[in-house]
Amino acid sequence: MEKQYNLGIVGFGGMAGYHYSELKKFDLRITPYSVFDVNEERMQAAREKGMKTYASFDEMLNDPAVDMVLVSATNEVHKELSIAAMRAGKHVICEKPVTISSAQLEEIMRVRDETGMVFTIDQNRRVNPDFVLMRQCVEKGLIGKPYVIESRVEGSRGMPRGWRTIKQLGGGMMLDWGVHLIDQLMYMINEKVVSVYCKLYSIEYKEVDDNFTLLLTFANGLTGMIEVGTNNYITHPRWYVLGEAGTLQINDWDCNGEIVRCVEKESEWEPEIVYTKAGPTKTMAPRRPESVEHIALSSSEEIERDNNLGTVYRQFVAAIEKTAPLAITAEQAMRVMQVMEAAFESDARGIAVQTNI
């Protein structure tokens, strides 16, 4: 019989509740077994779901029934909780952002190497259908060589109150959403990041970035533009990608969008100025409709409609059982962390930071 694993959860807030319900819904051979949270109300909520609770985190770590620990507390304590768990002989799945600095992540990696425990990070958005669809279309060459990828996540409700608005606790949108969107691009593009330019905005919360614009340049010249907004009353498409032979746009999380591909270059240029809705211009005059092909995009059956946490847990277990190399590694998270640090530096100094990440 395949081994079943007991998961101890430290920090039983909103996200841990999602882990709990997904683990209950899908057979991943992992039982949400126990909880420690500094908030007694959350411990009570865990007991009501039938989970064991402890008087301290140490008590959880001393419980031999616990095989693995989910670190889902606020960001500033990920490092100390992950290190303690690995030192106690538990494998760790840590919520994103893995830590709030690359120095903290280095400490985690040292302990991982000393203890030989498996350490992974819940970068669950690598399997989001919108990202998978965009990546597949680009990698199939449907728009030719890509040279700009714009990735945006925008809303107008501001940021949730609480720790996300406090710098010391790892608040701000760069660490919250930026970490996902940077991870997606760095996972897709097998090139170094050679330049980082960022502008952070603090519209509602002065202490942290509640909106930002980030420009990454990859070594092959590709530009990644990432924008996260919490004050956008009109939103952009989720993805907008320029390729040398076409343009891709995915409008929303349901993957509605299209590709417009060039079938025939516009080679006929009128000798005289052309009067268009854009005024007198040849460049921006409308092209002949038959010179392009439209391909409608939608959520595709081909794209695995997996529960995204399921993928992360399956990969985690495969690495523990040594049936596959670990998919989401601290080394990958380190590169993302270094890009975020370069972004903070870029904003503080008002310059593009040259990098080799």
> Footprint of ligand NAD on this chain (CB under 6 A)?
10-16, 36-39, 42, 57, 72-75, 77, 95-96, 122, 124, 162-163, 176
Closest CA to 30 of 65, 68, 61, 60: 68
Q: What is the DSSP string of 118-141?
A: -EEEE-GGGG-HHHHHHHHHHHTT
Indicate the residue type of 321: E
3-state SS class at 251: coil
Length of the chain counted residue by residue: 357
Q: Which residue is nearest to ligand NAD (CB)?
A: 13
Q: How far is the CB of 127 from ligand NAD (least distance, A)?
A: 12
- Give whichever of 218 and 344 is closer to ligand NAD, judged by the CB atom: 344
Q: How far is the CB of 179 from ligand NAD (least distance, A)?
A: 8
- Give whichever of 72 and 249 is closer to ligand NAD, judged by the CB atom: 72
Task: Retrieve residue 300's tokens.
Answer: 């595709």
Q: How far is the CB of 80 from ligand NAD (least distance, A)?
A: 8
Q: How far is the CB of 117 from ligand NAD (least distance, A)?
A: 19
3-state SS class at 212: strand
Based on the number of CB atoms within 10 Å of its own CB, is 27 exposed (0-12), middle (13-18) or buried (19 or more)?
exposed
Q: How far is the CB of 14 from ligand NAD (least distance, A)?
A: 4
Spatial CB neighbours of 235, under 8 Å, sequence gap ≥ 6: 152, 154, 155, 229
Closest CA to 61 of 17, 10, 112: 10
- Give whichever of 176 and 243 is closer to ligand NAD, judged by the CB atom: 176
Where in 64-179 does DSSP place strands (E)?
Answer: 68-71, 91-95, 119-122, 146-154
Residue 174 is given by DSSP the state I
- Give whichever of 97 and 146 is closer to ligand NAD, judged by the CB atom: 97
Q: How far is the CB of 104 from ligand NAD (least distance, A)?
A: 13
Q: How far is the CB of 39 from ligand NAD (least distance, A)?
A: 4
Please list the residues that pair with 280 across neighbouring strands.
Answer: 275
Distance CA 172, CA 199 (A): 13
